Structure 1
Amino acid sequence: MSNAPVPPDGPIGAQPDIPVCARHSDRPTRLRCSRCDRPACPDCLRDASVGMQCVDCVNEGARTVRQARTSAGAVVSNGRPIITQVMIALNVLAYVVTVVQSGSPMNNSRAGLFTATSMIPELTANGEWWRILTSGFMHFGLLHLALNMAALFVVGPVVEQELGKLRYSAVYFLSLLGGSAAAFFFGTVCQQLAGASGAVFGLMGALLIVFKRQKRDISTILVVVGINLVSNLFTNASLLGHLGGFVIGGLLTLAMVKAPAKNRNAYQIGAVAAAALLLGVMFVLRASELDTAAEVILEYARTCR
C-alpha cells in the first residue's frame, strides 16, 4: 500500500459522478434542459427559442400555447386529407365490385349491387331509403367515376383542411343527400340516379365560400361550376342533383365560417341539424305524394321504361 498523499479533491485523474438523463436512467449526460434544468440526453432535447428544452417541457409549453385555427374553427394542419382519400377509395371499391358482377367496365349498371343501391324514386318512396345514400357511391361507367374522383381529388383536400375532418364529413354527406333530395323532390319518377356528383358539387360550393372568406379569386371556381352545369343540359346527368348538392354544401359551409367564435360548435351543430331536417322533410313529403298517387305513378313509370 502506497503512503503517497492523496489530493484533497480525490486521486489525480478521477472523474466526478456524471448525472444521468431524467428520462433514461442508463444514459449519463452533462446536458441540461434550459427550462427545468434537469439532466437530459441528446434524444430528449429539442431546440427552443432560448437554449435546448427537454421533451416534457416542450409538450407542457405546447398545451399552453393557443393553436391557430381556420375560419371554420378547425386546427390549422398540413396533415393528410384522410376523409377525402377514404371517400375516393370507397367509390373506387364500389365501382370495382359492380364491374366484377356485370363483367363490363362501361355497362356496370347491370350489376346486382348497382340495381340494389342506385336511387330509383319509386322504390325509394316505397321504403328503400338506403338508396338516397348508397346511390352516391355508384357510377355509370369508368368515365363517370374518373371525372367525379378527379374533381374530388382536387377540391376535397382544400376544403378538408379548412373545415377539419368532422365538419368536412358533415358537408360531404349532407351535400350528397342534398343532391338526392333535390332530384327526388323536384324530379320525375322516370330517372335512375347514381354518382358522387352531388357531394362533389357540394364541395365546390364549399370551396367557393372558403375562397370568398379568404378574399381569394373565385372566378376559376365559378367558370368550372358554370361549365359543368351547362353541360348537364346536353347529357343525361342530373342537373337537379348537382344544384341540390351545390346549394347545400355552399350554405352549410357559409354557416360554419360565419359562426361566432363564442359558441361556434353549438351554431355549427345547429346548422347541420337544420340542413338534415330540411332534407328529411323533403324526402318525406315527396314520398307521401308518390304514395298518394301510387297507381298513377307506377303506371307512368312503366311507360318510361
Structure 2
Amino acid sequence: MPTCYRHPDKETWVRCQRCERPICPDCMRDAAVGFQCPECVAEGNKGIRQARSTFGGGIVRTPIVTYTILVVNVVVFGVQYVAGGAITGELAMWPAGVALLDEYHRLITAAFVHSGVFHILFNCWALYVIGPYLERAFGHARFVAIYLISALGGSALGLWVDPINQPTVGASGAIFGLFGAVFVVGRKLSMDVRGIAVLIVINLVITFVFPNISWTGHIGGLITGALLAGALAYAPKNNRTLWQVLAIGGALILLAVLIVVRVSAILAMS
C-alpha cells in the first residue's frame, strides 16, 4: 500500500497530477484535473503574475499609511497641547532655523504640527477623505512618497520666499499635494475632475484672502504633488517601477538642490 510522501504513516492511492507522488487527504490541493501536492501548487503559483494597483503599487486592502499619518498628527497635536509651544518651536519650519541652525528636519516635521483645532481638523478630514483613494491607486510606498515630498516641496518654497524668521506649521502643503494628485489621477483615468478643481480653487482663494495662512506651503505642495503624481501615473508601463523610482529620486534631488542653494544664500547674507 503506497503511503503519503509527506506523511509516511498515512496510506493513500491518490497521486499528485504533476509529480505523481502519493498524497494523503491532508496534502491534497484541488487542481483543474484531480489533485496536486502543496509543493507543486506553490511552484505553479510562482508563475502567476501578482495583482497590482492602478499605477503599479501593491494591492491595498487597508490604507494603513493614511491611518498612520492621521494618528501621528493627532498624537503630536496632543503633545503640543500638553507641552505648550515647546514642541511647536522644535518642529516648526522657519528659514533661519534650517539655514543657521542646520535643523533640516524642520522641512518635514513642520507637516506634523498644527496651530489650532480647526487647522488639524481640516487637514485630517481632507486626508481621511482623499488619502485612502490615492493610497489604493498608487500603493503604500508611492503614496507616502507623494505625501512627504509634497510637504517638502511646500517647505522648500517657504524657505525661498518667506521672511527668514517666519515660522510655518501644518500638513497643508502635503494636503494640497494630494489635491493636485487627485486632479492628475482623475485626468489620467478620464474622470470628471470639476469637483476637485473647484475644491482647489476655493482653498487657494481662502489661502490668499485670509491672513496668517502660508501660501508658500500650499502652492509649493500643490505644484510638487501634481508633478510627482503625474510622473508616477504617466510612467511608461514597460519598466514602470524603474521609471517611478527615478521620478521620486529626481524630485528629491531637485528639492535638495533648491534647499542647498537657498541655505547658501541665507548664510551668505548673515
Short-chain TM bin = 0.7 to 0.9
Match for 1:176: what amino acid?
A
Partner of 2:104: 129
Match for 2:96: what amino acid?
E
Task: Give the TM-score of the pair, scaled to structure 2.
Answer: 0.86
- SS state at 2:153 partner: helix
Report the CA distance between 1:175 and its aligned residue: 0.7
Task: Give the TM-score of the pair, scaled to structure 1.
Answer: 0.77
Unaligned runs of 5+ in 2: none
CA deviation map 1:109-168 (0-9, x unaligned): x2x111111012222221222211111111112221121112112222222222222222
- How many equivalent residue pairs? 267
8 Å CA contact retained: 1:171, 1:203: yes
Higher mean C-alpha deviation, range 252-261 or range 28-37: 28-37
Compare CA radii of gyration and give the structure with the larger one. 1
Tell me, in whole angstroms, the C-alpha distance in 1 between the residues paired with 2:28 and 2:129: 39
Tell me, in whole angstroms, the C-alpha distance in 2 between the residues paired with 1:48 and 1:222: 51
8 Å CA contact retained: 1:172, 1:199: yes
- Asked if 1:64 is matched to 2:47, the reply is yes
Match of 2:220 among 244, 250, 253: 244
Report the CA distance between 1:212 and its aligned residue: 2.0
Tell me, in whole angstroms, the C-alpha distance in 1 between the residues paired with 2:127 and 2:11: 53
8 Å CA contact retained: 1:19, 1:39: yes
Partner of 1:157: 132
Partner of 1:107: none
Tell me, in whole angstroms, the C-alpha distance in 2 between the residues paired with 1:202 and 1:264: 22
Report the CA distance between 1:192 and its aligned residue: 1.6
Superposed CA RMSD: 2.5
Unaligned runs of 5+ in 1: 1-16, 103-109, 295-305
8 Å CA contact retained: 1:33, 1:40: no
- Asked if 1:95 is matched to 2:77, the reply is yes
**Against the structure 1 CA distance between its residues 150 and 23, is the aligned structure 2 distance closer, same or farther, given a 3 Å change threshold?**
farther
**Against the structure 1 CA distance between its residues 215 and 118, is the aligned structure 2 distance closer, same or farther, given a 3 Å change threshold?**
same
Partner of 1:11: none
Tell me, in whole angstroms, the C-alpha distance in 1 between the residues paired with 2:35 and 2:240: 38
Partner of 1:114: 88
